[in-house]
């Protein structure tokens, strides 16, 4: 046996064990790493406001606390307003449910010539197997729902805690990161950090504009239909549809449909149709334009980055994909050497084949050609001087003659 073989086997086993241990640790910490990534981008989003307040003499810790306090108060007020509105509407719907059921049964009887009654429908629903199974599953799932809610609150607290530290100790964090890098790399890291702050702020700015446009459009619709709580519903649609990726649109449109159903069941269909049409307008017209202007990336790249982020990290990846790609594109753009583009029709979108330019005769030659005829007139490429030189019978000078009549 070679002497190096036992050592090589031990080294291979040790490397495999380290790989398995690292994979296990990464799988266990993937949730924490995603929370830290969200916290980092949240700290980048509030960095301009914190930096502006710190530039006026305020401590960064106090400035960060005030920014988070404003966001927290606004969020709590919004949730309380929507919660009270939703609770009141649910009570009204429960009280008015018999009337809705009577109207639906009457329409079914008139349309399909049936003889249904509300008592029969209620008895069939109460004694149905699927309703009993649903109640049993709901009773056993209360503990799971409570665990999910507590886990979500703990995750939210973790994100806010890390984002507070990233924003409050931003200069110290950058100094600690630069202290382990050579001076030539420190400038690149600081430049990348600055680009990330600008791109994240631009992304939030574009999302805020789209939320404003969406809220105004849905507010006009709800006011026209006479749906109550139109301002609160418009704010709900604007914020939820823009800042909750993937399912935000459907979640945002469900509440206005529910409130509109209490006014008139047909109004819920109107709201559903408007939500679908506006979503197509936003996806194909509004969002690509605003995203390309504020984040400075191509609409196709923005769309592809959202799909890739969703495939990698789910909803979190869809939310941070565009600012991350914009930051990477802007940072790499400084290291890509560009050259002047040659003047070519293919660059401008034309064809490489040049059209033939037809030689046009002078105006006098064309008139003489029409009057005298094709046989005696000047040819298409002949000039008057050539005509005189080639025809001696028309008084032109011949070889050997000199001026003066000799």
Q: Up-side HSE of residue 203: CA atoms within 13 Å toward CB?
A: 26
263: its two tokens:
């006014």
Residues 202-244 pLDDT 10s: 777 788 888 888 889 988 998 898 888 788 788 888 888 887 7
- Average pLDDT of the chain? 76
310 and 277 inside one domain: yes
Residue 16 lies in a domain: no
Task: Of 324, 303, 315, give the one whose Cα is nearest residue 246.
Answer: 315
Task: Of 184, 143, 192, give the one whose Cα is nearest residue 333.
Answer: 192
Domain end, chosen from 336, 356, 388, is at 336
103 and 222 inside one domain: no
81 and 156 inside one domain: yes
Domain of residue 111: give its range. 32-119+146-180
pTM above 0.75, yes or no: no
100 and 202 inside one domain: no
Output the pLDDT for position 24: 94
Flag whether pLDDT at 14 surpasses 90. Answer: yes
68 and 160 inside one domain: yes
163 and 92 inside one domain: yes
The answer to whether residues 290 and 206 touch, using CB atoms and an 8 Å cutoff, is: yes
Residues 360-388 pLDDT 10s: 556 566 656 665 655 554 444 444 444 44
Residue 269 lies in a domain: yes
Residues 18-57 pLDDT 10s: 999 999 999 999 888 888 888 888 888 888 888 888 888 8
40 and 77 inside one domain: yes
CA separation (Å) from 22 to 9, 25, 27, 36, 313?
A: 20, 5, 9, 19, 20
**Stretch 171-196: mean pLDDT:** 84
Q: Name, of 7-21, 103-117, 286-300, the range with top average pLDDT.
A: 7-21
Other CB atoms within a 10 A radius of the CB of residue 201 amount to 19
42 and 156 inside one domain: yes
Domain tally, the chain: 2
Residues 306-330 pLDDT 10s: 788 778 877 677 777 777 787 777 7
Helices 248-263 and 60-112: crossing angle in degrees, nearest 10, is 50
Residue 223 lies in a domain: yes
More confident residue, 18 or 80: 18
The answer to whether residues 260 and 271 touch, using CB atoms and an 8 Å cutoff, is: yes
Output the pLDDT for position 145: 66
Output the pLDDT for position 400: 42
Residue 387 lies in a domain: no
Domain end, chosen from 162, 180, 198, is at 180
């Amino acid at each position: 046996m070679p002497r190096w073989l036992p050592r090589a086997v031990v080294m291979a086993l040790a490397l495999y064990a380290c790989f398995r241990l690292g994979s296990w640790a990464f799988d266990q910490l993937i949730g924490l790493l995603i929370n830290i990534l969200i916290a980092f981008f949240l700290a980048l989003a509030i960095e301009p406001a914190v930096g502006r307040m710190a530039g006026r003499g305020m401590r960064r810790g106090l400035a960060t606390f005030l920014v988070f306090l404003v966001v927290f108060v606004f969020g709590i007020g919004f949730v309380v307003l929507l919660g009270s509105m939703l609770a009141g509407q649910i009570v009204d719907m429960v009280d008015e449910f018999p009337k809705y059921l009577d109207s639906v049964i009457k329409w079914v009887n008139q349309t399909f010539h049936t003889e249904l009654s509300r008592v029969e429908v209620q008895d069939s629903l109460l004694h149905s197997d699927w309703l009993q199974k649903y109640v049993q599953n709901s009773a056993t799932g209360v503990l799971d729902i409570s665990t999910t809610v507590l886990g979500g609150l703990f995750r939210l607290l973790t994100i806010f805690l890390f984002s507070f530290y990233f924003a409050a100790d931003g200069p110290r964090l950058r100094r600690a990161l630069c202290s382990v890098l050579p001076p030539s790399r420190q400038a690149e890291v600081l430049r990348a950090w600055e680009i990330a702050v600008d791109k994240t702020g631009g992304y939030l700015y574009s999302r805020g504009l789209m939320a404003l446009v969406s809220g105004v459009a849905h507010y006009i619709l709800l006011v026209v239909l006479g749906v109550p709580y139109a301002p609160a519903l418009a704010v709900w649609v604007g914020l939820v549809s823009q800042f909750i990726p993937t399912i935000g649109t459907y979640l945002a449109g469900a509440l206005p449909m529910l409130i509109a159903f209490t006014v008139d069941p047909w109004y819920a269909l109107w709201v559903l149709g408007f939500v679908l049409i506006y979503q197509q307008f936003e996806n194909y017209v509004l969002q690509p334009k605003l995203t390309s202007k504020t984040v400075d990336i191509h609409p196709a790249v923005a769309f592809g980055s959202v799909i890739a982020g969703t495939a990698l990290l789910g909803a979190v990846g869809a939310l941070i994909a565009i600012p991350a790609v914009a930051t990477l594109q802007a940072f790499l753009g400084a290291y890509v050497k560009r050259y002047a583009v040659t003047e070519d029709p293919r660059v401008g979108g034309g064809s490489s084949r040049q059209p033939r330019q037809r030689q046009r005769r002078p105006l006098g030659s064309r008139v003489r050609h029409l009057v005298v005829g094709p046989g005696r007139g000047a040819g298409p490429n002949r000039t008057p001087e050539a005509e005189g030189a080639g025809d001696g019978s028309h008084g032109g000078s011949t070889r050997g003659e000199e001026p003066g009549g000799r």
